[in-house]
C-alpha cells in the first residue's frame, strides 16, 4: 500500500494493520508509534518502506526492526514511567525515541558513527521531554557502565548469547529484553531477570531478524 508522502496515514495503517492485530496493547506504544516520524530514521531513499511489515535496511548489515517486532519487544520489557532504560544497537534512535515517549529515561548506544549522526539529526526535530534521551556512540557489547545500573536493558537486534557484562549493569529485579538467535536455530524474543544474584532467561515469542555482527563470537587462535 502506498501513501505517497502521507506519513501520518502510513503510521495509522502501520498501527491498525500490524500492531493492534499482533497483541500490542500498551497505549503508550501505540500513541508513540502513531506520532513519531519513523521515516526520518531511515535513509531518504527508503522512506516509502519505513512503515512496511518488514525490517528496513540501515546499511552495513544493520536494520530498523519491523514495527510489530519492535513494539512487542518494548511491551515485553514492561517499561514503567521514570525507569532508566539502556537501549543497545540503537541505529538512528527510533526505538529509543519510542521508549522515551513511554516515560523512560533512555540511554541509547550505537557504534556506527553515521547512524549516530543521522539519529541526532532526527531526534533534534522531536519534542521529547528534556533529559529523556541521550544517544551515545560506542560499542553495544560493552553497554554503558557509566550510567549503570539500568532498570531495563534492550538489545535492538538478534544476538547468539547475552554478554555477562550487560547483566552486571542490571540491579536486583532488573530486566533485559533481546532477540536470541543461536546458530542453526530459529530466533526468539527473550526476557531475562536478575533476581537473588542470578540471571534467568525465558523465551516469550518467535521472531527473526539480522544477527548483530558485533555480538558474534570472535574466532579463536589455533596452534
List of domains in the chain: 65-215 (3.40.50.150)
128: nearest Cα among 104, 152, 151, 148: 104
Rounded to 5°, angle at Cα 106 from 100 and 112 = 110
Residue 185 predicted with pLDDT over 90: no
More confident position, 184 or 189: 189
Q: Establish how many alpha carbons lie within 13 A of residue 95's alpha carbon, considering only the half-sphere containing its beta carbon.
A: 34
Give the mean pLDDT of 159-188.
94
Residue 217 predicted with pLDDT over 90: no
Helix (H) or strand (E) holding 106: strand 105-110
Helix (H) or strand (E) holding 110: strand 105-110
pTM above 0.75, yes or no: yes
Average pLDDT, the chain: 94
Residue 14 predicted with pLDDT over 90: yes
Do residues 33 and 85 touch, judged by C-beta distance below 8 A?
Answer: no
Quote the cell numbers at residue 11. 503510521
Q: How many helices (H) and strands (E) does the chain have?
A: 6, 9
Residue 1 predicted with pLDDT over 80: no
Question: What would the pLDDT profile of 34-89 be if each residue is shown by its tens digit?
Answer: 999 999 999 999 999 999 999 999 999 999 999 999 999 999 999 999 999 999 99
Provide the β-strand partners of residue 62: 59
Q: What is the reported pLDDT for 223?
A: 40
Q: What is the reported pLDDT for 219?
A: 63
Amino acid at each position: 500500500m502506498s501513501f505517497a508522502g502521507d506519513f501520518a496515514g502510513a503510521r495509522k495503517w502501520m498501527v491498525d494493520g500490524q500492531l493492534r492485530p499482533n497483541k500490542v496493547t500498551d497505549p503508550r506504544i501505540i500513541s508513540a508509534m502513531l506520532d513519531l516520524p519513523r521515516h526520518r530514521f531511515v535513509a531518504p531513499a527508503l522512506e516509502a518502506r519505513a512503515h512496511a511489515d518488514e525490517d528496513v535496511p540501515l546499511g552495513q548489515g544493520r536494520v530498523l526492526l519491523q514495527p510489530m517486532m519492535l513494539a512487542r519487544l518494548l511491551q515485553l520489557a514492561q517499561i514503567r514511567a521514570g525507569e532508566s532504560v539502556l537501549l543497545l544497537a540503537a541505529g538512528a534512535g527510533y526505538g529509543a525515541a519510542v521508549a522515551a515517549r513511554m516515560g523512560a529515561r533512555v540511554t541509547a548506544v550505537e557504534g556506527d558513527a553515521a547512524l549516530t549522526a543521522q539519529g541526532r539529526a532526527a531526534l533534534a526535530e522531536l519534542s521529547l521531554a528534556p533529559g529523556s534521551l541521550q544517544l551515545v556512540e560506542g560499542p553495544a557489547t560493552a553497554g554503558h557502565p557509566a550510567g549503570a545500573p539500568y532498570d531495563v536493558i534492550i538489545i535492538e537486534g538478534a544476538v547468539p548469547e547475552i554478554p555477562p557484562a550487560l547483566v552486571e549493569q542490571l540491579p536486583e529485579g532488573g530486566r533485559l529484553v533481546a532477540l536470541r538467535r543461536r546458530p542453526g536455530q530459529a530466533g526468539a524474543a527473550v526476557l531475562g531477570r536478575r533476581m537473588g544474584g542470578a540471571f534467568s532467561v525465558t523465551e516469550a515469542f518467535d521472531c527473526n531478524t539480522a544477527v548483530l555482527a558485533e555480538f558474534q563470537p570472535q574466532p579463536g587462535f589455533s596452534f
